[in-house]
Amino acid sequence: MGAVADKTLLTPEDLLAMPDERRFELIDGEPVERDMGALSGWVGGQIHDFLNQHCRANMLGWVFPADVGFQCFPDRPRTLRKSDAAFIRTGRLPNEQIPDGHIRIAPDLAVEVVSPSDLAYEVDEKVNAYLKAGVRLVWVVNPHVRTVLIYRSDGSVGLVREADELSGEDVVPGFRCPVALIFPPEPSPAAGNPT
């Protein structure tokens, strides 16, 4: 009978020291690679840009891109999550200073863009972890069906489609964006395929 080697569990600080740390999250000390396809990355960038423009113009707070880690799970100190965009309202970061390392408070809004490698149960687990940590609003954006599922801290869930408008509700006051703008234009049927 062979001996089973103990796994070396990482801390969020260990992750910061890795040369390719931007590619990983930590789930209870185990690194999990975050693979984003081009479409998912583009959609995440669009959402970040729209949120950032609105929040800067209205001095609402801080908008973070996909590679920022959140170490905000008190019952799971070796867990670090990265959303595809996140918002923290003014007054919540200590001294209004962005830390050098990971952010240790839950964002007010977390955005998850579904990637080709994402499994449904993993997305659900991430949403539940965010809500349990105190995130007030979570958007799960699916570029393939062009919808956004909206999870709220009160337990309610909504769905907006491409023809609808995405709202920041009371979490990102005044933010409104046509859902169609966060997705690339669909190919014209008249364009066809070159032969």
Residue range 100-158, pLDDT digits in tens: 889 999 999 999 999 988 889 899 999 999 999 999 999 999 999 999 999 999 999 99
DSSP codes joined into one string, 47-92: HHHHHHHHHHHTT-EEEE-TT-EE---TT-TT-BEE-SEEEEETT-
For residue 119, give every residue at least 6 positions away whose Cβ sits within 8 Å of its Cβ, in sequence order, or none.
none
CA 28 vs CA 34, 69, 92, 102, 194: distances in Å: 15, 14, 26, 16, 49
What letter represents residue 184's amino acid?
P
| Domains identified in the chain and CATH numbers | 35-182 (3.90.1570.10)
Residue range 52-83, pLDDT digits in tens: 999 999 999 999 999 899 999 988 988 889 99
